[in-house]
Chains A and B, each alone.
Chain A
Amino acid sequence: MAGFLGAADLQVSLYLFPLAAVISLVYSASRYELTDKILVRAFKLFCQIVGFMGMVFAVLWFFSLGM
């Protein structure tokens, strides 16, 4: 894992979590008016974004095995 993702890369990746949270919240706020709906949709979108990034990471990690 350390070979695949260096310390600097890992630190850069950590910045993507607050960025994903901000994008989810602002996007959802621009779609709906009710506070509850905004928060629920933002949470779901955040999970989708992080899940998608995780999936891409897993695929890249798999194909980089042995490199």
Chain B
Amino acid sequence: MSTDAVVGPAARAQRGRAVAASATTSRHRIRRASRLGGSVVLNVVLYALAFACAFPFLWMLATALKPENNALTNQFFFGYHLTWSNFGQAWHFFPFGRYMVNSFIYSFGGVLVVLAASTTAGYAFARLDFPWRERLFSLYVATLLVPATVTVIPLFLLSRQLHIYNTYFGLIFPVSFSAFGTFFMRQFFRTLPEELRDSAKIDGASEWWIFVRVMLPLCRAGAAVLAVFTFIFYWGDFLWPLIVTQNQNLYTLNLGLSEFQSQYGGYWSYMMAGCVLTVLPAIILVISLQKYLVKGLAFSSFGGR
């Protein structure tokens, strides 16, 4: 294998510079050799780290495919009969199908409410002129400083008072009005030229027509990023569903898993099968939408858990 194949552009650039400088070539050769050795070590270390990072997922899957009486052995895909029956067994203990439907309702419902609330208000704050606009917006921004967990107890009491406790409505609405989405969408609408709206108005378009047909399509990318992040957040959310639901029929996958742990914690293969079901949609989403995620990440509110 030639050195270029391993080191690639770095070596080529290095060589180019070496020619340009035409200085002490022996020193360069030594440096290049040590750099080659270093880069091999670096690659090995990074891929080992990546394996360690992926290992919990692999272990989850390996255990989900183990016969239950082998669940606690340290075999890794080999030495045992791979079985898919654990998924059916998990289903037998708990209605995971129902939980999955609930998780999707919670996540998609959350995405819809967050998008509807954030795009409209974000647009108003960015492009409409009305009294108290900046003051109202400052109030929104100020609430970003309040950690979400702090409002969980009052939200619980509010949803009981509003008779939405233990309903899909109560699951979705109380946590869907953080100022973050509004703040996020406002940034996007502010990048659009002011003249767009003026010229549409001269053509006699109504405010809502302008918003739906002109502004919203131009902010598609922003709305998509917000949607993906909202989905991932709701898909993984645990504390709020834990508090606002009482009835198993409303449980999300996360609640089902936690309940499974407390009742049948010893059945690791079944439990890991449930985990695989929970993890898979999030992983698929992330891998297929990488591009959007990286763009929107900087904005996301769930940083660095």
Query: Is chain B found bound to chain A in the same assembly?
Result: no
Question: A residues near B, CB below 8 A?
Answer: none
Question: B residues near A, CB below 8 A?
Answer: none
